[in-house]
Structure 1
């Protein structure tokens, strides 16, 4: 049986907040907002505390080669010690990387969710499952399909007739314990969570450095977009 292809989500805080609120995020407590650039003065415009960062990036030959190298290392060395503390979902639904990026952000950031909401139910149902079982659950659950379709259709650009895309979402969160936090990249296309090193300053600042060194430096494309799940919007 074939798996439905989902409409790609825009990297747009309005779209991501609409999806998240319908799924159960209490957006009066936390919300997605644009990160306008990687320089310190632009990072300072983002409401703190930042709980997660979602990056949309172009898939290029250089980035794919680096991904394969890192995935081989994960496969050879086995799961990291942080794997049990993060909820990671393998991506099996075409074009669902935006939804999986959102799920990774929301499930690993301790944000407040409405009780018995689709998000709260899905996260609870996934805790005891493997990443592959979580992927199958996402394929079959009715919790998000309508939410995704509505949010994807409500963006600023027209829904594409060709659903193939060379852009992809990934997510960064912090995991571990106070004083020993690690930055973890969660991408459903990978072989597992990617440990990006110790938290040095704060999540947004450290992720901006990782994005510069790992992503921007490996392509001449400017098709990047970054949003942060941070403090509530200013009234």
Structure 2
């Protein structure tokens, strides 16, 4: 189960959504309902170290979504790191990474999903005239504030999210319930080839340097980054999970 409405910087939330369950089928249904090609889907990543389990993951991997079991420790660390950084001001087709500030409570699963499909090669799989295509057209020229408002105002996005949230295997909690899990996304920029940590609760996308591995995010460079997140957070915590956005080789 997912998301929390805590924010390292402020507590503002325009509205609340029912949290998404961290289930690849739920995430896959949502991207398909938004108009992402059925050639893309989410799958579980069961190990970051076992080569046999890693071999089962279809390639290429276009994005990774990491689920934290306890948002508090993660937020505390990043609140200090982000304190001296300016707010992100990127917009337009020249953006290295398309980033959304989270202003919808309990929706970090949705923001992670949007970061996954709006960046890198995944955006080439958005069907024309679909809700996702219309949203991309609308938000691309916008700065951070108007872009956030566009997500808040999108009835197509809200309806698709609600339908997916109610399809999980566990009972969906009320939209304004406080839950501790938190999603972040890792993507490869379609502009500069860098690996980015994408989290709408930070001040902007975090450039982690060269991604390596061409268009496949399951290369050793990315795995090292994700392992570090998990190893740091697992001190006293269990329950991390990882999903990959993959392209069907068939």
Per the alignment, do residues 18 and 176 of structure 1 end up closer, same or farther by CA in structure 2, a change over 3 Å counting?
closer
Task: Please tell me whether residue 221 in structure 1 is matched to residue 237 in structure 2.
Answer: yes
1:124-143 aligned within 5 A: 124-143=137-156
Name which of 80, 102, 107 aligns with 1:96: 107
Structure 2 residue matching 1:195: 3-state secondary structure: strand
CA offsets 1:115-173 (integer angstroms, 9 cap, x no match): 11010100110000012211111111112111111100001111124621111111110
CA offsets 1:170-206 (integer angstroms, 9 cap, x no match): 11101155xx621101110001101122223452233
Per-residue deviation, 1:11: 1.3
CA offsets 1:189-233 (integer angstroms, 9 cap, x no match): 001101122223452233332122134323331121111111217
Per-residue deviation, 1:22: 0.6
CA RMSD of aligned residues (A): 2.4
Whole-angstrom CA distance in 2 between matches of 1:228 and 1:185 = 14
Name which of 180, 201, 206 aligns with 1:166: 180
The aligned counterpart of 1:114 is 127
Whole-angstrom CA distance in 2 between matches of 1:68 and 1:215 = 18
1:1-235 aligned within 5 A: 3-27=14-38, 29-41=39-51, 42-75=53-86, 84-111=95-122, 112-161=125-174, 163-175=177-189, 177=191, 181-201=193-213, 202-205=216-219, 206-218=221-233, 219-232=235-248
Structure 1, gaps ≥5 residues long = none
Per-residue deviation, 1:67: 0.9
Contact 1:30–1:233 under 8 Å retained in 2: no
Contact 1:34–1:227 under 8 Å retained in 2: yes
Structure 2 residue matching 1:32: 3-state secondary structure: strand
Whole-angstrom CA distance in 1 between matches of 2:96 and 2:209 = 15
Give the TM-score normalised by structure 1: 0.88
Per-residue deviation, 1:79: 6.6
The alignment of Structure 1 onto Structure 2 pairs a total of residues equal to 228
Structure 2, gaps ≥5 residues long = 1-12
Give the TM-score normalised by structure 2: 0.83
Per-residue deviation, 1:61: 4.4
Contact 1:89–1:132 under 8 Å retained in 2: no
Between 117-126 and 154-163, report the one with greater CA deviation: 154-163
